[in-house]
Structure 1
Amino acid sequence: MLDQIVLLSQKMLSLAQQGEWDQLTALQQLRDDQIENCFPLDPHGLDERQVSEQIRTILALDKQILQLAGDQQMEIRETLGKLSQGRVATKAYWDTSRR
């Protein structure tokens, strides 16, 4: 089951790198469901080292996704700021041109 979660996490990172946030969100829901079904792990027959490595991999992928999401958020804020400035400038222009 963790193998599938790692694969989904890798796909999510790829989508984040491509800026496909809607698809990433849908995939995240699927992954969250799988995580919920996976834990707690049945300790019988588990390779603790492999499980530990898979969990570290998932966390590392999540960290990269969060970094990309933060970068995207910053870009959106900047764009919205520029749009707001443009609206203010346009309003000022219209206000002065009507006099």
Structure 2
Amino acid sequence: MIEVENVNTPGRTTRVNAAKYADMLSAFEAALPRQSPGLTQAETKEAVKPHLSDELFPGGKTCGWWAKTVQLDLEAKGKLLREPTKPLRWHWK
């Protein structure tokens, strides 16, 4: 298990599966752009799918929840930047 943060609830942590977190983090590193305009949540979900382990995410199931979890954690740690657009977009800081 690994502790993750949530930018929307500062100071609170949650424990999640470390292997799934690491796999999704690796997918984020491969899929998310380094500069603006970034990707929307829906675009991110689709962009990470090809980079995920079939063992951990068979058929891409639950990848949306994990993508959001990793995004919120990275944002809380100051590694992702949220663009003030509609819809919201994220990219590496």
**Which is helix-richer, 1 or 2?**
1
Q: What is the TM-score normalised by the length of structure 1?
A: 0.28
**Which is strand-richer, 1 or 2?**
2
Q: What is the TM-score normalised by the length of structure 2?
A: 0.29
